[in-house]
C-alpha cells in the first residue's frame, strides 16, 4: 500500500494484503467489530471472532465467508465480564495459534443500571477496561514474538468527558452510566499509552495503538434511554446525517490503526475535526488527562491488582 499522505482518505481500498496474518477481534459478531473483521478477512487475514454469544459469532462468521469467499474465519468464546472466561479463551488461543499479528480490543458496553460481575467488578469498567487489560496480558507473548504485531484498543470521543475515579473505580458510592462509560474510555487510552511505553522499553516487535469510531450506527445504544435510541434509529438519518456514520465507516479507524504502515506506537486514529463525530480516520489527539503519566501508572497497578494478570513488562523510567 502506498503511504497515506495528507489529503488522502483512508478507505478499505487502501488496506494492504493481510495474507498470513491472524487477527483476534473482540465483540466481532456485530457493529464495529464485525465490519473490522470483514474488511480484514476480505484482504486475506485469518480472523478470530472472540464473542460472548457463540451462536451470534457463528452467524457473523458465515456472513463474512459470504462476503469474502475462501476467508478463514474462526469463533472463540470470550466473556470480558468473567476472568475465568478470559483465561480460558486466552489458553485456547495460545494453544491454537503460535503467532497473533493483531489483537483488536473492540468489545465494549454500557450498563444503564449498576451491575456487578462474577468477580465483583462494576460491569462497564470490567467489560471496557479490566477485561481487555487481562486478555491482552494473557496473549502478550504470542504478540511480542510476532514481527509487526499490533494491539489496537478502541476508545471513544467520550473519553474527553472522563475522569479516573481512583477513590471509587467500581462506582460503589454512586453509579451514573455515562460517568462509568467515560471513565472506561479514558482508561482505554491510558492503558494504550502506558503499554506502548513498556513495549518500547522492552524492545518489543509489537506496538500499541488506539482508535475511536466517532459516532457510529451500531447496536451499542440498545440500553440507552428511549430518546437516545430514537436518535440512533436509521430512520432518523434525515436529521442526524451530520451526527452519525455507518458502522463500516466507524470501523475504518480501527482498521487503519491495525494496518497503516505509517502508524507508530501510541498513535490514536479516528474521525478528525473539532467534534470528531464523522469522517474518514486520521491521526487525532486525545486529552491531556489521557497522557497523565502518574495516573497511567496508578491505573496500571490497580488493573494488575484487580485482575491478578501481571505483565512481563517493567515500567519505563524516563529521565
In a domain, 123, yes or no: yes
Q: By the 8 A CB rule, do 296 and 278 touch?
A: no
Q: What is the pLDDT of residues 130-143, one digit of tens each?
A: 999 999 999 999 99
> 116 pairs with which residues across the strands?
122
In a domain, 233, yes or no: no
181 a catalytic residue: yes
- Model's pTM, two decimal places? 0.91
In a domain, 315, yes or no: no
In a domain, 8, yes or no: no
The set of long-range contacts for 90-97, using a CB threshold of 8 Å and a minimum separation of 24, is 90/135, 90/138, 90/139, 91/138, 93/24, 93/48, 93/50, 93/139, 93/142, 94/138, 94/139, 94/141, 94/142, 97/22, 97/48, 97/142
Tracing cell 519505563 back to the chain, one arrives at 316
Q: By the 8 A CB rule, do 62 and 34 touch?
A: no
pLDDT tens for the chain, 319 residues long, are: 334 444 579 999 999 999 999 999 999 999 999 999 999 999 999 999 999 999 999 999 999 999 999 999 999 999 999 999 999 999 999 999 999 999 999 999 999 999 999 999 999 999 999 999 999 999 999 999 999 999 999 999 999 999 999 999 999 999 999 999 999 999 999 999 999 999 999 999 999 999 999 999 876 555 545 444 444 445 544 444 448 999 999 999 999 999 999 999 999 999 998 899 999 999 999 999 999 999 999 999 999 999 999 999 877 656 4
Can you give the residue range of the structural domain that contains 149? 14-219+246-307
In a domain, 232, yes or no: no
In a domain, 237, yes or no: no
In a domain, 45, yes or no: yes
Q: What is the pLDDT of residues 146-204, one digit of tens each?
A: 999 999 999 999 999 999 999 999 999 999 999 999 999 999 999 999 999 999 999 99
pLDDT at 227: 44
Residue 68: give its domain's CATH number.
Answer: 3.40.50.720
Structural domain count of the chain: 1
DSSP string, 269-286: EE--TTT--SSS-EE---
> 75 pairs with which residues across the strands?
49
In a domain, 200, yes or no: yes
Which residue in 114, 175, 177, 181 is the catalytic one? 181
Amino acid at each position: 500500500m502506498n503511504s497515506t499522505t495528507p489529503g488522502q482518505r483512508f478507505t478499505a481500498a487502501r488496506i494492504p494484503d493481510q495474507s498470513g496474518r491472524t487477527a483476534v477481534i473482540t465483540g466481532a459478531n456485530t457493529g464495529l467489530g464485525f465490519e473490522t473483521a470483514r474488511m480484514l478477512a476480505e484482504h486475506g487475514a485469518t480472523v478470530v471472532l472472540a464473542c460472548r454469544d457463540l451462536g451470534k459469532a457463528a452467524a457473523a462468521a458465515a456472513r463474512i465467508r459470504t462476503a469474502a469467499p475462501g476467508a478463514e474465519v474462526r469463533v472463540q468464546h470470550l466473556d470480558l465480564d468473567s476472568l475465568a472466561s478470559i483465561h480460558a479463551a486466552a489458553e485456547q488461543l495460545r494453544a491454537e495459534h503460535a503467532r497473533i499479528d493483531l489483537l483488536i480490543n473492540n468489545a465494549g458496553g454500557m450498563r444503564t443500571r449498576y451491575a456487578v460481575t462474577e468477580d465483583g467488578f462494576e460491569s462497564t469498567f470490567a467489560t471496557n477496561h479490566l477485561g481487555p487489560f487481562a486478555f491482552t496480558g494473557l496473549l502478550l507473548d504470542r504478540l511480542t514474538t510476532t514481527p509487526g504485531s499490533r494491539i489496537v484498543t478502541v476508545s471513544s470521543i467520550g473519553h474527553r468527558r472522563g475522569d479516573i475515579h481512583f477513590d471509587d473505580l467500581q462506582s460503589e458510592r454512586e453509579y451514573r452510566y455515562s460517568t462509568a462509560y467515560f471513565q472506561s474510555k479514558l482508561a482505554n487510552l491510558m492503558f494504550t499509552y502506558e503499554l506502548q511505553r513498556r513495549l518500547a522499553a522492552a524492545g518489543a516487535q509489537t506496538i500499541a495503538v488506539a482508535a475511536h469510531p466517532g459516532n457510529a450506527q451500531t447496536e451499542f445504544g440498545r440500553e440507552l434511554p428511549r430518546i437516545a435510541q430514537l436518535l440512533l434509529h436509521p430512520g432518523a438519518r434525515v436529521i442526524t446525517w451530520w451526527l452519525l456514520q455507518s458502522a463500516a465507516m466507524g470501523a475504518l479507524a480501527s482498521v487503519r490503526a491495525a494496518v497503516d504502515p505509517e502508524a507508530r506506537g501510541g498513535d490514536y486514529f479516528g474521525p478528525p475535526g473539532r467534534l470528531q463525530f464523522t469522517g474518514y480516520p486520521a491521526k487525532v489527539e486525545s486529552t491531556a488527562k489521557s497522557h497523565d503519566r502518574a495516573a497511567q501508572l496508578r491505573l496500571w497497578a490497580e488493573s494488575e491488582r484487580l485482575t491478578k494478570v501481571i505483565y512481563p513488562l517493567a515500567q519505563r523510567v524516563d529521565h
